[in-house]
Chains A and B, each alone.
Chain A
Amino acid sequence: QSALTQPASVSGSPGQSITISCTGTSSDVGGYNYVSWYQQHPGKAPKLMIYEVSNRPSGASNRFSGSKSGNTASLTISGLQAEDEAEYYCNSYTTSSTRVFGTGTKVTVL
């Protein structure tokens, strides 16, 4: 199972919106609405930000939203803040009943 493809880095100024893509195949992202997104700050455990494509768990800011089209899922952060600077990973269920992570995207707040 190959890792899902994410851009290595995305940057934006405070207050702006940015979008991170996550491209897989019909065997993972495209085949299920079980795509999630995690935020990870250096030296910390990942934190769930979005589950099942577009749902936010309690504790996740409403500035985070998710969507999916075909084999590509997306995470949008609106009203970018300094605290959003982190690494972001997508994650999908697969036809092999396993899970696969994306390659990771470093978000920089300019």
Chain B
Amino acid sequence: QVQLVQSGAEVKKPGASVKISCKASGYTFTNYYMHWVRQAPGQGLEWMGIISPSGGSTSYAQKFQGRVTVTRDTSTSTVYMELSSLRSEDTAVYYCARARTPAVAADYWGLGTLVTVSS
């Protein structure tokens, strides 16, 4: 069965970076794109970016341009999301979610990774 297993919770100080992983299994990794979506406490969903697991091309929301980097390792079927220059407003649950193409809906989601930014 399809599984997206995300890394554990992180606590970071303002100005630091965080790198979250999302390990895929149960399907052909290179056949599906991977989105990253975040949700601040009590807030809505916010789309961050997407990566093509086969070619590695990426697209990011303008809000995160320059601060977010999404990469993948096809040998381990794992996608990574790194967010730099963290501030308190980046405290959120970060989700990975797979999709057949960038246009279509994400059908399977990871359980989320809580990132807390606090001094």
The interface residues of chain A lying within 8 Å CB-to-CB of B14 are none
Query: Any chain B CB within 8 A of the CB of A91?
Result: yes
Q: 1/0 contact trace for B12-53 toward A, CB 8 Å?
A: 000000000000000000000001010000001111001000
The answer to whether A45 and B104 touch across the interface, beta carbons within 8 angstroms, is: no
The interface residues of chain B lying within 8 Å CB-to-CB of A47 are 109
Query: Any chain B CB within 8 A of the CB of A70?
Result: no
Chain B residue, CB-CB nearest to A103:
B44
- Size of interface on B: residues with Cβ below 8 Å to A: 23
Query: Any chain B CB within 8 A of the CB of A64?
Result: no
Query: Any chain A CB within 8 A of the CB of B106?
Result: yes
The interface residues of chain B lying within 8 Å CB-to-CB of A3 are 44
- Size of interface on A: residues with Cβ below 8 Å to B: 26
The answer to whether B104 and A57 touch across the interface, beta carbons within 8 angstroms, is: no
The interface residues of chain A lying within 8 Å CB-to-CB of B102 are 93, 97, 99
Give the Cβ gap from A42 to chain B, nearest Cβ, in Å: 10
Which of A9-17, A19-27, A31-39, A78-86 lies on the face that meets chain B?
A31-39
Query: Any chain A CB within 8 A of the CB of B61?
Result: yes
The answer to whether B45 and A101 touch across the interface, beta carbons within 8 angstroms, is: yes
B:50-98 near A, CB below 8 Å: 50, 59-62, 95, 97
Which of A97, A100, A102 is in CB contact (< 8 Å) with B59? A97
**Considering residues B61, B103, B105, which has the most beta carbons from chain A within 10 angstroms of its beta carbon?**
B105
The answer to whether B45 and A98 touch across the interface, beta carbons within 8 angstroms, is: no
Chain A residue, CB-CB nearest to B63:
A1
Which of A48, A98, A99, A102 is in CB contact (< 8 Å) with B107? A48
User: With A97-B59, A98-B61, A99-B35 in contact, is A48–B44 under 8 Å at CB?
Assistant: no
Binding site for B on A (CB under 8 A): 1, 3, 32, 34, 36, 38, 40, 45-48, 51-52, 57, 89, 91, 93, 96-104
